C-alpha cells in the first residue's frame, strides 16, 4: 500500500480543531501524522500541494446509485467514480432500486459490488416491503446485513401508524429513519412547484403544503415515540419552521438540504427543460432565503445531493420526464461558492455540513483527519473557477441543474483509505 507525504497544505478539520498550514503523512491506508513540517520517510511519495486545502472526505447521505435494476442510468461503480470526482469518499444509497433494497440478499449484492468502488457505500434499506407501505421490513435482518438507515425514499409511508411503528423498530435496531416528506394526494400529478411559473406554463404544480404536512407529521410521530427522525431534502420555508421549532422543544429531528434549494428558484422552469425538474422541486425566492438562513443558524444539519441520474432520452420531454438531477461532482463547488465565498458561512461550517454531521447522524466512520483513522481526504483548489460542462461529468447521466454555471473551488484530488481515487490533471 502506497505511502504519501502531502506537503504545505491548508488543513481544515473542524471535528479535530484543525485549521493550519502543514503536512499530512498517510501510511497503510491511515493518517499517520498531521502537523507542521514532517520529514519524509524512504517509502513516501512526496507531493507538494502548496496553496491547496485538505479536509475530511465528504459524506453524501442521500444518493441514488440506481443499482440494481436501473443501471442504464447509473451503477455503483460509476456513481462512486462521480463521487470521487466531487471529493465524496462515502455515500448512503437509497432503496428505490429494482428489486427494492428490502432484503439481506439485495444488501449483499450492493456491498459486494461496492467493494472495489471509489467511494464507500452505506446502503439505506426500505421501511416497508417493496416500498408498498403495507408491512414493515425485517429491520434486525437488514441491520445485520449492513444497512445503516431505513427509508421509503421517493414517497412517504402513507400510514402514520405504520410509520410510527417503523420508527420504533428502526430505533431498536440502531437504524436511522429517513423520511421523504411529500403528501402524494396533495401533489396530485404535479411536476414542478405550484406557483406563478407553473400557472404561466399551464402545468400541474406541487404545493408546498405537501412537504410541510408530512414534515409536521413525522415530527409529531418522533416526539410521541421518542425516536430519531431525519427529514430528507428540505425545500420549503414551512418545513424549516416546523423543524426549527421541534429542535427547540428537544425533538430528535435532523434534516438535510441540497445545493439547488439554496441557490436556484422555479424561475428556471420557464426554459421547459426537464433537467431543472427534481422532487421536491425548485421553489421561490422566499424558500431559498429560508433554506439559507437555516444553514446559517444550524437548523439544517447536512448538505446532500439527492443524486438522481436519468438517461438523456428520459429527460427529453419536459412534461413526461422523471424528476431528478445529478449532483455528486458539483456539490462542494456549488456550496462553497454559494455559502462560503459569499460570506454566509465559514469553510469549517461547510465541512461540518458535508462531512462531520453526516458521519455522526448515520453513525459511520469519517469526518476526521485524525491519526489512526482511515485516510479519506479531499483536496481542493479554492481559487480555481470552473464551468460545469455536463459532457465532462463522470456519471453515466448528465442531468445537472448547474450546467453552464461557473463555480469556485475545484476538487483536485480525492483519497479513499489512503489510495488516490481521483486526480484532476488540469
Q: Catalytic residue positions?
A: 306
| Length in residues, the chain | 426
| CB-based contacts of 362, cutoff 8 Å, min separation 6 | 59, 61, 92, 122, 148, 149, 176
Residue 379: strand pairing partners = 54, 413
d(CA 314, CA 168): 38
> To which H or E segment does residue 303 belong?
strand 302-303
Residue 160 has, within 13 A of its CA and on its CB side, a CA count of 13
Report CA Rg, the chain: 21
For the record, the C-alpha cell of 130 comes out as: 417493496
Q: 176-179 and 192-193 as β-strands: parallel, antiparallel, unpaired?
A: unpaired
Q: Quick one: which of 46, 3, 45, 5 has its CA closest to 28?
A: 3
Which residues neighbour 195 within 8 Å (Cβ) at sequence distance 6 or greater? Answer: 205, 266, 283, 284
Burial 343-379 (b: 16+ CB within 10 A, else e): eebebbbbbbbbbbbbbbbbebebbbbeeebbbbbbb
Q: Which residues are within 8 A (CB) of 114 and not within 5 positions of it... i.e. 6 or more apart?
A: 76, 80, 120, 121
13: which residues sit within 8 A by CB, 6+ positions away? 55, 56, 351, 368, 369, 370
Amino acid at each position: 500500500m502506497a505511502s504519501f507525504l502531502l506537503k504545505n497544505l491548508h488543513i481544515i478539520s473542524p471535528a479535530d480543531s484543525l485549521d493550519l498550514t502543514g503536512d499530512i503523512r498517510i501510511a497503510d491506508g491511515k493518517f499517520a501524522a498531521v502537523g507542521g513540517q514532517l520529514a519524509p520517510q524512504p517509502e513516501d511519495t512526496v507531493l507538494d500541494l502548496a496553496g491547496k486545502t485538505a479536509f475530511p472526505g465528504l459524506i453524501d447521505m442521500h444518493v441514488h446509485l440506481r443499482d440494481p435494476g436501473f443501471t442504464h442510468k447509473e451503477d455503483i461503480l460509476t456513481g462512486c467514480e462521480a463521487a470521487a470526482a466531487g471529493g465524496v469518499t462515502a455515500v448512503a444509497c437509497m432503496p428505490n432500486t429494482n428489486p427494492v433494497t428490502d432484503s439481506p440478499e439485495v444488501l449483499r449484492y450492493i456491498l459486494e459490488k461496492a467493494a472495489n468502488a471509489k467511494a464507500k457505500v452505506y446502503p439505506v434499506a426500505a421501511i416497508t416491503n417493496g416500498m408498498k407501505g403495507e408491512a414493515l421490513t425485517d429491520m434486525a435482518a437488514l441491520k445485520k446485513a449492513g444497512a445503516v438507515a431505513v427509508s421509503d425514499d421517493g414517497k412517504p409511508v402513507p400510514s402514520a401508524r405504520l410509520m410510527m411503528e417503523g420508527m420504533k423498530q428502526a430505533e431498536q435496531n440502531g437504524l436511522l429513519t429517513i423520511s421523504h416528506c411529500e403528501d402524494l394526494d396533495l401533489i396530485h400529478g404535479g411536476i414542478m412547484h405550484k406557483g406563478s411559473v407553473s400557472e404561466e406554463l399551464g402545468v400541474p404544480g406541487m404545493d408546498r403544503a405537501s412537504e410541510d404536512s408530512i414534515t409536521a407529521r413525522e415530527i409529531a410521530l418522533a416526539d410521541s415515540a421518542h425516536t430519531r427522525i431525519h427529514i430528507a431534502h428540505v425545500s420549503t420555508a414551512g418545513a424549516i419552521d416546523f423543524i426549527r421549532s421541534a429542535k427547540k422543544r428537544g425533538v430528535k429531528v435532523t434534516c438535510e438540504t441540497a445545493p439547488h434549494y439554496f441557490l436556484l428558484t422555479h424561475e428556471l422552469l420557464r426554459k421547459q427543460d426537464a433537467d431543472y425538474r427534481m422532487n421536491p422541486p425548485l421553489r421561490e425566492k422566499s424558500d431559498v432565503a429560508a433554506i439559507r438562513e437555516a444553514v446559517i443558524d444550524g437548523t439544517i444539519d447536512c448538505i446532500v445531493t439527492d443524486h438522481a441520474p436519468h438517461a438523456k432520452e428520459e429527460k427529453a420531454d419536459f412534461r413526461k420526464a422523471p424528476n431528478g438531477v445529478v449532483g455528486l461532482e458539483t456539490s462542494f463547488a456549488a456550496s462553497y461558492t454559494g455559502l462560503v465565498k459569499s460570506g454566509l458561512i465559514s469553510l469549517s461550517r461547510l465541512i461540518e455540513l458535508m462531512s462531520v454531521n453526516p458521519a455522526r447522524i448515520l453513525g459511520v466512520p469519517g469526518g476526521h483527519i485524525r491519526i489512526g483513522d482511515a485516510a479519506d481526504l479531499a483536496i481542493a483548489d479554492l481559487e480555481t473557477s470552473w464551468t460545469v460542462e455536463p459532457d465532462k461529468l463522470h456519471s453515466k447521466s448528465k442531468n445537472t441543474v448547474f450546467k453552464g454555471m461557473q463555480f469556485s473551488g475545484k476538487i483536485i484530488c480525492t483519497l479513499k483509505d489512503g489510495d488516490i481515487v481521483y486526480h484532476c490533471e488540469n
